[in-house]
Amino acid sequence: MSDADATRTTHAPAVDDRFPVPLRGVAVDLRTRCTHWDSAVDVVALRFGCCGTYYPCASCHDETADHGAEPWPRDRFDEPAAFCGRCRGRLSAREYLDRDDACPRCGAAFNPGCRSHRDRYFEP
């Protein structure tokens, strides 16, 4: 395994310093895939309202944070709340939600299955 493919697990309060945003999770690779979701389209990390930190998925929050997860609040949907693991761009919640299943900056495909548990990440 080369360095580029290496994964890293980070527990609160530490954050993974390979990323330009506060981010942590379980076995995270450089495209923000994790041990729970590691297909080619799982290349986005989402920010949580409780701590303002990005995680590849809610299970990563459950396993590495020191508090319960709260979704990103509706009154902050214009603020950055998604991080694309392909182009490393920050997307507002609205940008992410309006462009279903793809990054509006680089076109990376995102997992359409994420929609079914969206209320864990974004306040309905």
99 binds Zn ion (CB under 5 A): no
Backbone angles phi, psi at 46, to 5 degrees: -115, 145
Q: Which of 33, 52, 53, 49 shows the shortest CA–CA distance to 114?
A: 33
- Least CB distance to Zn ion at residue 15 (A): 12
50 binds Zn ion (CB under 5 A): yes
Q: In the complex with Zn ion, which residue's Cβ is closer, 51 or 81?
A: 51
Helix, strand, coil shares, percent, the chain, to 5: 25, 15, 60
The binder of Zn ion chosen from 23, 57, 81, 82 (CB under 5 A): 57
**CA–CA gap between residue 60 and residue 12 (Å, rounded):** 11
Q: In this chain, which stretch among 2-10, 15-23, 82-90, 115-123 interacts with Zn ion, using CB under 5 A?
A: 82-90
Residue with token string 């330009």: 20
108 binds Zn ion (CB under 5 A): yes
- Residues binding Zn ion (CB under 5 A): 34, 36, 48, 50-51, 56-57, 59-60, 65, 84, 86-87, 89, 103, 105-106, 108
